Structure 1
Amino acid sequence: MERSLLQRVGTLLYLVHPNTTTFSSVDQVPNYIHEAVPFFVFFFVLELTLHYLWGKPQRLNEATTSLGIGILHEATGFISSWVVLLGYDWLYQYRLWDLPWDSPYTWFGAFILVDFCFYWIHRANHELNILWAVHQIHHSDEDFNFATAVRLSVLQRVAHFGFYHPLALIGFPLPTVSVHIAFNYLFQFWVHTKYIGSLGPIGWVFMTPSFHRVHHGANKWCLDKNYGSVFVIWDRIFGTFEPEKDNEEIVYGLTKQPQTHNALWHEVYYFVEVYRKARSMTTWGDSLKALFYGPGWAPGLPRLGDPSTFIDVKAPRIKYNPRISQGMLLYIASHMTLTFLAQQLMVAKYMGSLGIMLSMLIFIFVSVGVLTAMFDGWVWAPLAEAVRCAAFVACYFSITQITAIPVVDTGLLVYFTTSCLFWTTKGVNDMIFRLSTKKMK
């Protein structure tokens, strides 16, 4: 069924009708998240533009890094989305009740309980160190905007595995749960903004941007608060609610902020920290606790650590913001945009072709990694970028067409060829300079 523009926008706010979002099989469920991507892009660009017009331009390096991380998250979605509900249908065979798939009561029940499950998913992602290794990337953004909303690990969906499965035993059909997981995810987009204040009585029941800003704060009073997605009532019930304070500025990011924009390092760095922590323990029991207790835990402390020992982050905190030229910034942004379009093309055109899909997936990962490493001034970035662009040119001639639009394909070939030549020249010159400098020393 074709949906109107207004209906598509409504999915972002959970403003949908049960009759048009109820399905008898999973195959009938639309890819609501993929359909929402144009709206994500629109609001992302709108926010950047408004900030520029207001004379308060956002940091393009951080926003581009968030976009890159989001690209990786969506590029791997065809695998991770399948993992989330793996085994759900099997467990459904042992359900306690038969809930009609076309009943509005089933729909509204799933609406509430999927959000309840997400509360515990989100809380577990903060309270289990191994899951925090997955989720921390979402909190590593030192800004707070719509780009933050898509800053999600490639393993984030995998970290949700098992939490929704109790709904199968209750009797909720898989299509119904799948629909509400998608809407629950989409609803979270709009709460990632600094420009919507208190919503009054709405905040008695629903999550608002004000409450979610607290959740993203590195200030001690913000830590481990406001886990809800659609409803804030779970936080109020389970003692994790914290309102925004008028007299204290929220500092966004992590308490120990990694000094990098490299998206691939953001994906893995905390796993390295967890491994080191587990290896440093003197007993097997403590090594397991390093994995499954809170990030703030240490031997002799409670499961979640001692809050009095946590870093008390206060504003202002200097943000990681290495200087690069405007030309370099625009180059990275343009190629990240092309990487995003490649990811969209992969989903729209090549999902049935395993070889091409895997090749594009590798190219997307390398692109995001190299481009965001350029923000850090990585010494091997010029040569890595030259190789990346050369790989695209080679693929172009092996596939013969990328978009099937001749003028676009020719433009891409020229742009990547020019980029390859530029970075090859720069990379070789930089290497010669380093070698000559080393000899002089």
Structure 2
Amino acid sequence: MGKSLLERVGTLLYFVTPNATSFSKVDQVPNYVNEAVPLFVFFIVVEFVVRYLVGQPARINEAFSSLGVGILHEATGFISSWVVLLGYQWLYQYRIWDLPWNSPYTWFGALILVDFCYYWIHRANHELNILWAVHQIHHSSEDYNLATSVRLSVLQRAGHFGFYHPLALIGFPVSIVVAHTAFNYLFQFWVHTEHVGTLGPIGWIFMTPSYHRVHHGSNKWCLDKNYASVFVIWDRIFGTFEPERDNEVIVYGLTEQPQTHNVLWHEAVFYGPGWIPGAPRLGDPDTFPDVKAPRAKYDPQLPLWQVVYVTIHLILALLAQQLMVVRFTTSSWSTVFAFQLFIFSAVGVTSALYDGWRWAPAAEAARCAAFTTYALSTPITAVPTVDNTLVFSFVIFFIFWTRRGLNRLSSNINTNKIK
């Protein structure tokens, strides 16, 4: 039976019941995250409209970068999700207790302990260089909105490996853990907004947008604070809690600004925050940049037609990711690889257009040619009219970008770096 709209929205707020979300086998657990993708898009658009109406329009280029990163994260989810709980079932054989999968006590116990594990995952992501190299992409956005919530590296889930495994020894069935890790992630969506203020007593126990705004700040007092996902009590217990300050404006982003919107470039950073040999484990706070508001943002502008073009191809990449998820179990590995290649190239090349990279037009022409060649031999959607329209459109795109690449007109795009 399909879920109602209200039930789907409920998954974003952890408003779900044990009876409806407990399963005996892991393959029975719905893909809650992928089911929420249309809601992600809807609420992100709604927030864009709200910001425009209140005179604070969001930056399209930053949102494009965040959504592109999110598409790649979900496109690789079928691999990375498997890695997270690799070996869990083997360890479960040595469990201390047998916790029944259909017990409310098991369900609520998993809710609390999965969130406890996530606190340490998130804290490790900030305190260990190798994990920060993966996680920093989530903090690289200089805007703070719902689109930021999906800005996660393709390797983010893999960095969770091992943190949930103690739950296997306690006796939590893998199906329960998988369901709660999904809800835990979905709950984080709504805290990425500036349009919800402090929530009074709710903030005594639960993470709120106000607290998570601090976590995304690059001001000194914001660094390494508020790691929790659902229950902020973990931050209060372990000394990492910091509330918003009325007299200080939070500056979002990294202490060092990455001056690019290229999604693939954002994925490749290899150094930890603030640490150098000989410094304390988490770096010397006295050496951190003293970031204050207002701070200029990297904000290259494109002609309207190009904004429309990259938006269309971002939507096509999202649709390809959704189609791949639906067809995954019945598709060959070569087909899955072709979809992955299309998604990565679409997001990577079109985001490079935002930076005005000189090779971007030529790369886009090559991408369009490759897609056309593949689509002529292999149906994409199994709907001839749609497939023919795609082929015709990509032929036109190929001709256009080939000419534009030869003329090197893209060098006229204004992408001046911040002084």
Tell me, yes or no, if the aligned pair for 1:351 and 1:357 is still in contact at 8 Å: no
How much has 1:295 moved relative to structure 2?
Answer: 2.7
How much has 1:406 moved relative to structure 2?
Answer: 3.2
DSSP 3-state at the match of 2:90: helix
Distance 2:45 2:322 in 1: 17
Partner of 1:148: 148
- Where do residues 323-338 of structure 1 align in structure 2 (5 Å cutoff)? 323-338=301-316
Partner of 1:282: none
Partner of 1:212: 212
- Where do residues 261-276 of structure 1 align in structure 2 (5 Å cutoff)? 261-268=261-268, 270-271=269-270, 274=271
Distance 1:171 1:164 in 2: 12
Tell me, yes or no, if the aligned pair for 2:192 and 2:213 is still in contact at 8 Å: yes
Distance 2:53 2:365 in 1: 35
Distance 1:135 1:72 in 2: 14
Distance 1:209 1:224 in 2: 16
Larger Rg: 1
DSSP 3-state at the match of 1:200: coil
Amino acid at match of 1:384: A
Deviations 1:369-395 (A, max 9, x none): 101111000001111000111111111
How much has 1:351 moved relative to structure 2?
Answer: 4.2
Deviations 1:40-82 (A, max 9, x none): 0111111122223333321111101111100100000000000
- How many residue pairs get aligned? The number is 410
2:273 is aligned, of 292, 295, 318, to: 295
Distance 1:225 1:6 in 2: 33
Amino acid at match of 2:361: P
How much has 1:247 moved relative to structure 2?
Answer: 1.1
Partner of 1:310: 288
Deviations 1:228-256 (A, max 9, x none): 00000000000000001111111110001
- Where do residues 230-269 of structure 1 align in structure 2 (5 Å cutoff)? 230-268=230-268
Partner of 1:21: 21
1:360 is aligned, of 333, 339, 349, to: 339
Partner of 1:429: 407
Amino acid at match of 2:235: D
Amino acid at match of 1:421: I
Amino acid at match of 1:130: I
How much has 1:111 moved relative to structure 2?
Answer: 0.3
Partner of 1:188: 188
DSSP 3-state at the match of 1:311: coil
Amino acid at match of 1:180: H
Deviations 1:196-253 (A, max 9, x none): 0000000000000000000000111000000000000000000000001111111110
Partner of 1:30: 30
Q: Which moved more, 1:2-11 or 1:170-179?
A: 2-11
Partner of 1:407: 385
Distance 2:335 2:276 in 1: 47
The answer for unaligned runs of 5 or more in structure 1 is: 275-293, 435-441
Amino acid at match of 2:350: L
Amino acid at match of 2:284: D
How much has 1:350 moved relative to structure 2?
Answer: 4.2
The answer for unaligned runs of 5 or more in structure 2 is: 413-419
Q: Which moved more, 1:243-252 or 1:414-423?
A: 414-423
Distance 1:352 1:295 in 2: 43
2:359 is aligned, of 361, 377, 380, to: 380
Q: Which moved more, 1:108-117 or 1:303-312?
A: 303-312
Tell me, yes or no, if the aligned pair for 2:376 and 2:391 is still in contact at 8 Å: no
Tell me, yes or no, if the aligned pair for 1:126 and 1:132 is still in contact at 8 Å: yes
How much has 1:307 moved relative to structure 2?
Answer: 1.0
How much has 1:322 moved relative to structure 2?
Answer: 1.3
